Structure 1
Amino acid sequence: MSSSVLTQLGSGIRHPRTLLALKTALAVGLAWSVAPHLPGSASDYPYYGPLGALISMHPTLMRSITTGLRTLAGLVIGMLLAATVIIFAEPNVVTISLVVGAGVLVAGARWLGAGSDTVPTAVLFVLIIGGPNADSYSVGYLVQMTAGILIGLAVNMLIFPPLTVGSARDQLARFRASLADQLDDMAQVLRESWPPEHEDWATRGTQLATVADDVRTALQAASDSRRINPRTRLRRNRHDLTRDYEDLAAFERITFHVRDITDVLANAVWGTEVRIDLDPEVCDVLSDAFTSISPTLRSWDEPTRSAALEEARSTLATVGARAQRAGEKPGSGMNPASVIALDLSRILAVVDDRQPE
């Protein structure tokens, strides 16, 4: 087998989803092997052990723990609700329906989270499957689920516990590159004859906002993956995400201004929402401004950032003066060049506020 094939195979196995699938399969297999040997009535219900293991397997250790605990809490609550029927009445169509409805109401408690669905399920299982042996069934059900969840947590913690910091930072870098690409694409539009041959840049505003939301979700997951994770003790994994959250906030502010520029330029080209007349004399200098600011984003963490910032400041000063002169022409009306120049200045201000490490 060639080295390239081995490398691809290794990368595939290390992929988070593949690794989670392999660990889940292992946990379920271990739980099924252990289940028949649990003491008492638990051994009569071995199928709940693998179910507990499956429920406990999640991309982060913290989520695995919280999901497991909430599932067990939901089971206990459901069993207590079922016990009220057994103690004070008898299982029939009316009592089962009422107590399941009560379980659904209780499941609405926000703190139960992922365990909310188990409340009415536990009620139904205890009363219908457990029947006359509801007490032993409840004990066996709970013991098997607990054992399965513990096995799942052990597997998730001992075998490459998930740490998604690198993936989140990669998404953040791609987000920054997307903002720079959008500025470069609009710079090209300003130098082309209108209408331009490509239109994809004009519809990227909403996409950039969606990417920002996805990156924030990824950073939150990365932060969650660091909690109680033994891998964070290694020096290479001690990265503090505070800086990344600050960068994301900066990129979100930049996105607002990039979207505003995109709307102004799209209306200047096609007049889809409102007719905007952009003075052809400022198109070239605006294009230069776009291409001077995009390198400040691309060199965000690089030594060349200072030089890029200095060049962008100089170019924007020229843009501001030209845009003002264009707005002073008789009958010029709305001055879109000044609007774009203002947004560019605000983008540069956000970049400038970022302190080097």
Structure 2
Amino acid sequence: MRMASAAAQRAARAIRTSLNTWITHSRLLLAAKTALAVGLAWLIAPLVPGVADEYPYYAPLGALVSMTPTLMGSVRTGLQTVVGLGLGILLAGAVLVLWEPNVLTISLAVGIGMLIAGSRWLTVGGEYVPTAALFVLIIGGANADNYSIGYLVQMAVGIVVGLGVNLLIFPPLTVTAAVLRLNEFRELLARHLQEMSTALQEEWPPQNEEWATRDELLRTTSDAVRTALQEAEESRKANPRAQLQKRDLGLDYAQLQTLETITFHVRDMTDVLAASIWERGFAAELPDDLRAPVGEVLKAVAGALLARNGADSDPETVAVADDALTALLDRLDERSETTSSTLSVALAIAMNARRILAALAPKPPAAGNAPQRHPAPE
């Protein structure tokens, strides 16, 4: 009854989180904000004084460029775009002062612009260096001075409008989405263990082989969760909404590292169990009388892992898993005189189960965890 209630709570929480994520962090919201920013920039552009009002079409482009999924990403993109434009204009100016625009000089300016765009310090907006140089030399022509000013000013106006829209209307904060991905990863590992347990209770050999071919999914899911946490960390920077949703992402990084460790042991369990069933990769054997206790261990470890989605720790589920593991080890002790090769699969699963339970044991949080401090295991 308690497990059913916990499952219902997890399902309800996942639905609420998914709905909130879809409303506030979806591509639809970004598209709507981008459309609004472009429209506002187009309305404001003709009001810009001086020669810039002759080039209003660059303001919507600036707004479009500045709209990214995170507020800090918008700031970074906007600033580097302006820098890239400035460098491109200077490059075109050098051509106009030292030579004259022709096939050779325009090609040379674009080539130099591409080299500058590829520099490590200009990671975003670098493509505007050769673009600006090309536009000034070809479109600006004899009116290059006015064109350069109008181009740069209107792009800056659009970028400011885009930053304002991104800041004032639901500035993206993807922490909730990242936590949801972390919980989904934990549930995937638990379901994987449950399916392995079920396979040991079916007619031998079992028909369901999906769990035995999930290695790549486990790896890509781990990578996706790490990326989601990195994006969440990025979305918090300079974001006023982060003050309302305070969360120590360092703890989430620590949980991800724990899940990556558990994944390593789950993959090892999968390999040895698949080898014992279908003789894949290497020869292994799991005696008939050990299938049930091994299955109980896998099921109990899955329960302990799944319980972590509802609380920091659940002593009851961990105790159940410890009891199942102790029962399996007792059975193995009774067969200590048996040929070691016939016990290798059970021993391997027991050892991995023990290490998973050790990984689930509460640990003091590490301060200041950051993405680069938690590399994924090889």
For normalisation by structure 1, the TM-score amounts to: 0.92
Q: CA deviation at 1:280?
A: 1.9
Q: Residue 238 of structure 2 aligns with which residue?
A: 228
**1:256 corresponds to 2:264:** yes
| Residues paired across the two proteins, number | 347
Q: Residue 163 of structure 1 aligns with which residue?
A: 173
Question: Following superposition of structure 1 onto structure 2, how do residues 66-215 of structure 1 map, counting pairs within 5 Å?
Answer: 66-215=76-225
Aligned match for 1:246, one of 254, 267, 279: 254
**1:293 corresponds to 2:272:** no
Q: For residues 10 and 266 of structure 1, what CA distance do their matches in structure 2 show?
A: 40
**1:319 corresponds to 2:328:** yes
Task: Write the deviation string for residues 32-77 of structure 1: whole angstroms up to 9, x where unpaired.
Answer: 1111221122111111100000011111101010011111111111
Aligned match for 1:308, one of 313, 317, 331: 317
Task: Write the deviation string for residues 115-171 of structure 1: whole angstroms up to 9, x where unpaired.
Answer: 111111111111111111111111110000100000000011011111111111111
**1:283 corresponds to 2:299:** no
Q: Residue 272 of structure 1 aligns with which residue?
A: 280
| Residue identity opposite 2:201 in structure 1 | R
Q: For residues 328 and 143 of structure 1, what CA distance do their matches in structure 2 show?
A: 84
Q: Residue 346 of structure 2 aligns with which residue?
A: 337
Q: For residues 90 and 338 of structure 1, what CA distance do their matches in structure 2 show?
A: 79
Q: CA deviation at 1:292?
A: 1.0
Q: CA deviation at 1:323?
A: 3.7
Aligned match for 2:54, one of 34, 44, 47: 44
Describe the shift of the 1:303–1:207 C-alpha distance in structure 2 as closer, same or farther (beyond 3 A): closer
Describe the shift of the 1:231–1:342 C-alpha distance in structure 2 as closer, same or farther (beyond 3 A): same
Q: CA deviation at 1:94?
A: 0.8
Q: In the alignment, is the contact (CA less than 8 A) between 1:327 and 1:335 conserved in 2? A: no
**1:25 corresponds to 2:30:** no
Q: In the alignment, is the contact (CA less than 8 A) between 2:287 and 2:342 conserved in 1? A: no
Q: For residues 313 and 72 of structure 2, what CA distance do their matches in structure 1 show?
A: 39
Other structure's SS at 1:182 match: helix
Comparing 34-43 and 64-73, the one that deviates more: 34-43
Describe the shift of the 1:104–1:94 C-alpha distance in structure 2 as closer, same or farther (beyond 3 A): same
Q: For residues 348 and 221 of structure 2, what CA distance do their matches in structure 1 show?
A: 25
Q: Where do 5+ consecutive residues of structure 2 fail to align?
A: 1-18, 366-378
Other structure's SS at 1:332 match: helix
Task: Write the deviation string for residues 67-125 of structure 1: whole angstroms up to 9, x where unpaired.
Answer: 11111111111111111111111111111111111111111112211211111111111
Task: Write the deviation string for residues 295-327 of structure 1: whole angstroms up to 9, x where unpaired.
Answer: 111111438711111121122122234345557
Comparing 93-102 and 147-156, the one that deviates more: 93-102
Q: For residues 24 and 297 of structure 1, what CA distance do their matches in structure 2 show?
A: 41
Other structure's SS at 1:46 match: coil
Describe the shift of the 1:331–1:144 C-alpha distance in structure 2 as closer, same or farther (beyond 3 A): closer
Q: For residues 292 and 268 of structure 1, what CA distance do their matches in structure 2 show?
A: 21
Fraction of identical pairs, as percent: 50
| Residue identity opposite 2:153 in structure 1 | V
Q: CA deviation at 1:175?
A: 0.7
| Residue identity opposite 2:70 in structure 1 | T
Q: For residues 178 and 90 of structure 2, what CA distance do their matches in structure 1 show?
A: 42
For normalisation by structure 2, the TM-score amounts to: 0.87
Q: Where do 5+ consecutive residues of structure 1 fail to align?
A: 1-8
| Residue identity opposite 2:44 in structure 1 | V
Q: For residues 303 and 49 of structure 1, what CA distance do their matches in structure 2 show?
A: 50
| Residue identity opposite 1:308 in structure 2 | T
Q: For residues 316 and 342 of structure 2, what CA distance do their matches in structure 1 show?
A: 36
Q: For residues 278 and 144 of structure 2, what CA distance do their matches in structure 1 show?
A: 71
Q: CA deviation at 1:16?
A: 2.1
- Structural RMSD (CA): 2.1
Q: CA deviation at 1:12?
A: 6.4
Q: For residues 286 and 269 of structure 1, what CA distance do their matches in structure 2 show?
A: 14
Q: Residue 62 of structure 1 aligns with which residue?
A: 72
Describe the shift of the 1:302–1:351 C-alpha distance in structure 2 as closer, same or farther (beyond 3 A): same
Describe the shift of the 1:220–1:13 C-alpha distance in structure 2 as closer, same or farther (beyond 3 A): closer
Q: CA deviation at 1:328?
A: 4.2
Q: In the alignment, is the contact (CA less than 8 A) between 1:16 and 1:59 conserved in 2? A: no
| Residue identity opposite 2:116 in structure 1 | V
